[in-house]
Amino acid sequence: MKRVKRQAPRSATALYAIAATCAAIGALLWLRSRTSTGLTLSSVSMYGSSMDADSHSPSAWRVWSPVVPEERLGLYLLAAALVMALVARLVAVWRE
């Protein structure tokens, strides 16, 4: 007899979505901390016909407490994403 594969429960789907969000934010924070000027879209600005790349200064906006560097926070979020993905998989298997 052929077994019909059921859909993953909503709780597993929600955990997968949260894990993906944590992974994306964690990766962006980690990348931001690894670059010298941060991830900015306007690192080079055009004013008329001249390029003004020297006037750009990196953002002083902090995502987290000054005690925890952004690189470490990014790695924490990536680790949390892995744990949540594993838990979501276990929930999906357990509910089958």
- pLDDT tens across the length of the chain (96 residues): 555 566 667 888 999 999 999 999 999 988 988 885 544 444 444 444 455 444 545 556 666 677 888 889 999 999 999 999 999 999 888 876
Residue 73 domain flag: no
Give the pLDDT of residue 35: 83
Residue 53 lies in a domain: no
Please check whether residue 75 lies inside any domain of the structure: no
Q: In this structure, is residue 80 part of a structural domain?
A: no
pTM above 0.85, yes or no: no
Residue 5: per-residue pLDDT: 61
94 in any annotated domain: yes
58: helix, strand or coil: coil
What pLDDT score does 41 carry? 47
Q: Total structural domains in the chain?
A: 1
d(CA 96, CA 90): 10
Neighbouring-strand partners of residue 46: 51
Whether residue 93 lies inside any domain: the answer is: yes
Q: Does residue 63 belong to any structural domain of this protein?
A: no
In a domain, 57, yes or no: no
Cα diameter, the chain: 72
Q: Give residue 46's pLDDT.
A: 45
Q: Are 15 and 91 in contact (CB under 8 A)?
A: yes
Q: What domain range includes position 31?
A: 9-35+85-96
Residues 38 and 58 sit within 8 Å (Cβ to Cβ): yes
Residue 18, token pair as written in the block: 């949260």
d(CA 80, CA 5): 28
